[in-house]
Amino acid sequence: MSVLDPSSGTPLLRIRGLEKAYGQVTVLRGVDLDVAKGEVVTVIGPSGGGKTTLLRCVNFLETYDKGSIRIDGEEVGYQDGPRRAMRSERDLARMRAETGMVFQMFNLFPHLTAAENVMLGLVKVRRKPKAEARAIAEHWLRRVGLAEKLDRLPSELSGGQQQRVGIARAVAMDPKILLLDEITSALDPELVGEVLDVVLQLASEGMTMLVVTHEIGFARDVSNRVVFMADGLIAAAGPPRELFGGAIEVERLRAFLSRFGARV
């Protein structure tokens, strides 16, 4: 199934015919998806459906076998041309900086403070002077409610605080699109809200996001569109009010939502 939005004009993210396999196991089976600038698209679905692999291909943490991924018209991971040639490591680093990624397990450097974790990409990839990088880090850590934690190590922070550092690190790079991969799955329930509040704020300010989540209520509240993935395919898609609020034609989606007590 294609998830294309012709009303949005040229999409910021354009995925066509995306395929990915690990050995004999095919994970993505020809995914088409557009995300417009300023749009929030959430991806839901059962485990093993290809959701995380989709994000990792967009960030080119995973190579893909067939198809095309373009951000602002530029092919991700591979050089444009008749032959499929991978970009240089330097070029890949530049492109990854345009797709800020926030992971399930925080992925902070344990020997660096919160501010230093945010500064690292700004200095190494964006080539910012350290003083400017520090100022940017402080700004974003304040924005996510961590003004008092700038010089704390990850081990001195709660899980929710570490994830907010991860969000600050991603958005500080001024990416064109923010990729969020199940960012609350490793958190205790009482910490989930503080992280989702930060994402809701960014969405309200026009940040373009592609979000994999199991938080159905959050997907309903934050999304312009919701995509349901299963077995490496997009099985259903549409505005939240259509997918969650009306008659659901896709039995697999109905069964999935019923597990969360969602209205079906």
pTM comes to 0.90
- Residue 235: DSSP 8-state: E
pLDDT per residue over 2-50, tens digit each?
A: 455 544 468 999 999 999 999 999 999 999 999 999 999 999 999 999 9
State the alpha helices, DSSP H only, in 29-175: 51-58, 89-97, 114-124, 130-143, 159-172
Which residue, 174, 189, 204, sits at the end of a domain? 174
Could you list the residue range(s) of the whole structural domain that residue 59 is in? 2-98+175-258
Residue 104 lies in a domain: no
Same domain assignment for residues 30 and 73: yes
pLDDT per residue over 172-195, tens digit each?
A: 999 999 999 999 988 888 889 999
Which residue, 152, 174, 196, sits at the end of a domain? 174
The per-residue pLDDT for 263 is 47
Which residue, 128, 153, 174, sits at the end of a domain? 174
pLDDT per residue over 201-234, tens digit each?
A: 999 999 999 999 998 989 988 999 999 999 999 9
Same domain assignment for residues 170 and 182: no
Residue 264 lies in a domain: no
Same domain assignment for residues 187 and 233: yes
CATH code of the domain in which 51 resides: 3.40.50.300
- Give the count of alpha carbons within 13 A of 215, CB side only: 24
Indicate the number of domains in the chain.
2
- The CA radius of gyration of the chain, in Å to the nearest whole number, is 18
Q: Are 100 and 177 in contact (CB under 8 A)?
A: yes
- Residue 154: DSSP 8-state: G
**Dihedral angle of Cα 163, 164, 169, 171, to the nearest 10 degrees:** 120
CA distance 246 to 44: 17
pLDDT per residue over 37-92, tens digit each?
A: 999 999 999 999 999 999 999 999 999 999 999 999 999 999 887 788 999 988 88
Helix H or strand E segment including 222: helix 216-222
Same domain assignment for residues 157 and 181: no
The per-residue pLDDT for 28 is 97
